[in-house]
């Protein structure tokens, strides 16, 4: 059985090849950029960057937009609140019940645009980075801050990568247990909420037991291969920035600067 994790979209574009750290930090800078935007020019820059990313990464734009599906409800609710409850500015539409102002309209549009841009663009991070290299990137980024505390970033990295490694195994296992119990007449589809929850016991007990057994065996195998959390480990592939990473940082920082300047100028008007 093949289980695809997350939403990684395989391709060998420049974006895919970037260091995960670049993509994580880049995403954060982009979010900052979107929040600093307050006018049509800066929003335009943000949108253009989204379109550019979609083109360069070979990820179909539709796939990126599909990520909004879960957000639609939240976006609509926020939009409604803003449009009806912002009272400042000039009134555009006036009825006995609702009162829509131009301020309200602009805030609503920009808020929706922000949410859409952030969700769509940040989904490129997971589209173009495998979960495992994402974990690698997080580990590496945490290394410096962690060195001031007692937490070890390499342990965090190990935990993340083992969790990722075992997800397909456990999904397969769950599928097997489910079928085995169905063969014994168990019913997971019908019945009320409580009954269905109760019916999960024959699934969850074996799954927990097997997870514990696996964890135990894995710990033994790791120890047998000389894993000592307290010792310094080397790494086969240490993450290294390439020329493209510096370009990427350059581009995003430049655009951020432009957005900041444009927004400042706009707000002083």
Partner 1 sequence: MKFIDAKSIKFEYTRYDEEKDISIPVCALNGVDLSVEKGDFIAILGHNGSGKSTLAKILNGLLLPKEGTVVVSGEMLKDEKSIWTARTKLGMVFQNPDNQIIASVVEEDVAFGPENLGFSPEKIKENISFALDAVGMNDYRYATPSNLSGGQKQRIAIAGVLAMKPECIVFDESTAMLDPIGRKDVIKVASYLNREHGMTVIMITHFMDEAAKANKIFVMNEGVIVKSGTPSEIFSDVEYMRGLRLDVPIASEIVYELNTAFNKKIPSGIVTSEALVRYILSQKPPKNVNFEQREHRSVHNEPILQVKGLTHIYGEKTAFERVALKDINIEIYSGEFVGIIGHTGSGKSTLTQHLNALITSEKGEVLFKGENILKDKENIKKIRQKIGLVFQYPENQLFEENVYDEIAFGPKNMGIDEEEIKKRVASSLKMVELDESYCKKSPFSLSGGQKRRVAIASVLAMKPEILVLDEPMAGLDPMGRRAILSNIRKMRDELGITILLVSHSMEDVSEVCDRILVMNEGKVEMLDTVYNVFKNVNRLKQIGLDAPEVSLIMHELRQEGINVPDDVYSVRDAADIIGRLLNGE
Binding region for partner 1 (CB under 8 A): 1-4, 132, 161-162, 164-165, 168-169, 172-173, 176-177, 179-187, 201-202, 205-206, 209-210, 213-214, 217-218, 220-228, 231-238
CB distance 175 to 210 below 8 Å: no
d(CA 11, CA 113): 28
CB of 177 to partner 1, least distance (A): 6
Coil, helix or strand at residue 154: helix
CB distance 183 to 151 below 8 Å: no
148 or 189: CB nearest partner 1: 189
d(CA 6, CA 139): 19
d(CA 128, CA 135): 13
Task: Report phi then psi at 238, rounded to 5.
Answer: -85, 140
Give the helix ranges, DSSP H, for 37-152. Answer: 40-57, 61-66, 72-85, 102-128, 131-147
CB of 61 to partner 1, least distance (A): 20
Q: What angle do CA 240, 128, 27 make, to 5 degrees?
A: 75
Task: Report phi then psi at 203, rounded to 5.
Answer: -90, -45
228 or 269: CB nearest partner 1: 228
8 or 106: CB nearest partner 1: 8
91 or 182: CB nearest partner 1: 182
66 or 94: CB nearest partner 1: 66
52 or 188: CB nearest partner 1: 188
Residues, the chain: 269
CB of 224 to partner 1, least distance (A): 5
CB of 262 to partner 1, least distance (A): 43
CB of 193 to partner 1, least distance (A): 19
Task: Report phi then psi at 38, rounded to 5.
Answer: -145, 15
Coil, helix or strand at residue 185: coil
87 or 179: CB nearest partner 1: 179
CB of 80 to partner 1, least distance (A): 38
CB of 120 to partner 1, least distance (A): 23
């Amino acid at each position: 059985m093949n289980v695809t994790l997350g939403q990684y979209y395989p391709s060998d574009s420049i974006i895919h090849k970037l260091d995960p750290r670049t993509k994580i930090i880049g995403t954060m800078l982009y979010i900052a950029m979107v929040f600093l935007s307050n006018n049509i020019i800066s929003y335009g820059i943000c949108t253009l960057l989204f379109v550019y990313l979609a083109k360069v990464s070979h990820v179909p734009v539709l796939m990126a937009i599909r990520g909004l599906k879960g957000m639609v409800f939240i976006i609509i609710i926020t939009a409604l609140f803003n449009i009806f409850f912002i009272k400042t500015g000039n009134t555009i539409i006036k009825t006995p019940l609702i009162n829509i102002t131009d301020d309200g309209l602009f805030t609503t549009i920009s808020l929706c645009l922000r949410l859409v841009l952030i969700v769509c663009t940040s989904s490129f991070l997971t589209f173009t980075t495998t979960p495992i290299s994402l974990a690698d990137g997080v580990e590496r980024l945490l290394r410096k801050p962690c060195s001031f505390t007692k937490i070890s970033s390499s342990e965090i990295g190990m935990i993340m990568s083992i969790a990722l490694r075992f997800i397909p195994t456990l999904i397969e296992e769950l599928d097997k247990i489910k079928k085995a119990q169905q063969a014994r007449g168990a019913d997971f589809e019908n019945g009320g909420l409580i009954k269905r929850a109760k019916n999960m016991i024959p699934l969850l007990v074996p799954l927990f037991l097997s997870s514990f057994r696996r964890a135990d065996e894995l710990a033994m195998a790791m120890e047998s291969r000389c894993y000592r959390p307290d010792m310094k480990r080397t790494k086969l592939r240490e993450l290294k920035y390439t020329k493209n990473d510096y370009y990427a940082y350059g581009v995003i920082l430049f655009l951020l600067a432009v957005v900041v300047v444009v927004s400042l100028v706009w707000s002083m008007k």
